Chains A and B, each alone.
Chain A
Amino acid sequence: MNQWIAFWNILKKDMRNYYLKPPNISWGIIFPVAWTLMFFLRSREPLDIRALLPGIMSMSVLFGTTSMLAVTITFERRGRSFERLLLAPVSINLLMAAKTSGAVIFGTFNAGVPLILSLLWTDLTGVQWTVLIPAAVLIAVTSTFLGLFIAVSVSEVFEAQTFSNFFRFPMLFLCGLFIPIADLPWFLRPLSYVIPLTYGADMLKEAVNGNGVLPVQLSLGMLVLFASALFILSIRNVKRSWIG
């Protein structure tokens, strides 16, 4: 019970201090709108919002969560306020779960923004919500843990941003959102399958347009596996690097 008081208050503090700040809310709204406009401007044919939706949702979550968690944790470590959390009688697992929960919620909100905006222009009848919601949440979870992995590896806020991009851009091009995996050069294809976004994006495609390539159960299982592995790896790194 005592541990959960700490969990809830860390989450509440992070939401209030970081995620619910006006710049971050506006980021959550502007980012998907900007991406949609970009596709609209370069498209020679009428824009199919529904076809774009899985990609926009994936990118919004990926960019939102990886940045936010890596930056906020690095920021707290620089200001040494993170030490206060490490000094508390709260298990590292629960502490990191509290820190990442805020980013997962923020990421899921980011996924919701393009979805709500698309309702203004298109009909979303037939969307498989039972696939779409877990996909959005699990993309947020894996991206958040990727952000945590980045946060452990850097000591400066600007490094967190640079290092995030090192992962994010290759992931975008390898996950099958822009170029189908089958059209990638043969030597790059195996890489696509070690990226969690591949499975998340495929689930979203299946949920919105019914054109996913992989079985939903496989994608779901792989995302859970990636989330668990990234969390365990990050906790191990936290213990080794921050309590060394």
Chain B
Amino acid sequence: MSLSLLKSVTAAAVMRNLQGPILEIAGLRKDYGDIEAVRGLDLTLHFGEIFGLLGPNGAGKTSTINMITGLVKPTSGSISLKGIDCIAHVKRIQGDIGVVPDESNLYDELSGFDNLVFCASLYGMRKAVREQRATELLETFSLSDTGKRPFKAYSKGMKRKLTIAAAIMHQPPVLFLDEPTTGIDVESARQIRLLIKSLNRKGTTIMLTTHYLEEAQRLCGRIAFIARGRIVKTGTVDELLGGLRSDHLLHLTVGGQADQLAAMLHQHHPSLRCTEKGTHVVEISSDSPVELHPITAFLSGHGFPVYEARRVEPTLEDVFIAVTGINAGELESREKGGRKR
């Protein structure tokens, strides 16, 4: 075989390997007594992708991650990471994964630096190597100045960043992030999103759960919606949005209560789907182009001026509502409610 052919064959094999599955889940179930937390979940993660698992609180996101990472034993089903059975050989795969839980789980008394060094020691890294890696990561995460401060003195955003750093100390090829930006300030969240992207560019396969649909849209190549323990839809952002792109979507800013006006409009124009989008914003969607004049005339005729009409593109939120029947506001309040428990 010529050298150039060998090179191209090798490159093709590498590409196939990169695009192939790294994590395969089939028929995964978890019951807690009478409660079915996860009900027959099937999922595949490909090498080098950022995969989003989206769903409301109690949908089964954290249970799924806990089963993959070995914190919880599945009731039935199979999970394999890089071809290794994660259920039978959990300790063999744990060296290849990093986990960032929904709440920071480092040691309050230890400094940021010591936390990182300790976490790396759990993966058998030698002292000099782990100290060097901790220094590098503190710098990458802009935490060098606070490296000697105890973890309990960190702000929420800093805690989150250090928890991510701790999860990647051993340079795992797969990283699981459970709600990485929940409850932190805007700037820290932005920094974390940039870090996630940067890690992915360096080859880390990432699976993240979030209830921020916009965040998932920005970060993830593929997304799965999970509701009541089952995956209800999976696809790339384009594939998911594709189904709704044929819709004609308008937002009208009106001088009246949007919920009442939406009902009035739908009654008068039954072909239009009208919903409240804000206190004074009515969303109108239709399979065919929407003629504006009759709508504005109707509303103005009833004493409700129309201030603005804007064509909008469908978002993941619209897809989420369409497939789960749960609206984003409800999703967020469920998440907050869940966290208080």
Binding site for B on A (CB under 8 A): 1-3, 5-6, 8-10, 13, 17, 79-81, 83-91, 243-244
Complex contacts, A5 vs chain B, CB 8 Å: 121, 124-126
For chain B, the bracket of interface size reads: 20 to 34
Are A13 and B126 in contact, with the CB atoms below 8 A?
Answer: no
7 more contacts with CB within 8 A, not counting A6-B123, A243-B72, are A9-B118, A10-B122, A13-B110, A80-B101, A89-B122, A244-B72, A244-B73
**A-B pair number, CB within 8 angstroms:** 68
Q: Give Cα A3 to B122, complex, Å.
A: 8
Q: B126 to chain A: which residues have CB within 8 Å?
A: 5
- B interface with A by C-beta (< 8 Å): 69-73, 91-92, 94-95, 97, 99, 101, 103, 105-110, 118-119, 121-126, 166
B94 touching A89 by the CB < 8 A rule?
A: yes
Residues of chain A within 8 A (CB-CB) of B118 are: 9, 13
Is B103 a contact of A80 with CB atoms below 8 Å?
yes
In the assembled complex, the CB of A9 is this many whole angstroms from the nearest CB of chain B, namely 4
**A6 partner, pick from B69, B105, B121, beta carbons under 8 A:** B121
Contacts of A2 in B (CB 8 A): 123-124
Q: How far is the CA of A90 from the CA of B124 in the complex (A)?
A: 9
Most chain B C-beta atoms within 10 Å of own C-beta, residue among A8, A10, A13, A86: A13
Cα–Cα, bound, A6→B91 (Å): 14
Asked if A6 meets B106 with Cβ closer than 8 Å, knowing A87-B69, A87-B94, the reply is no
- In the assembled complex, the CB of B211 is this many whole angstroms from the nearest CB of chain A, namely 20
Asked if B107 and A3 sit within 8 Å, CB to CB, the answer is no
In angstroms, Cα B101 to Cα A139, docked, is 38
Cross-interface CB contact of B122 among A79, A80, A88, A91, cutoff 8 Å: A88
Q: Which of A2, A13, A17, A87 counts the most chain B CB atoms within 10 A?
A: A87
B122/A90 in contact, CB under 8 A = yes
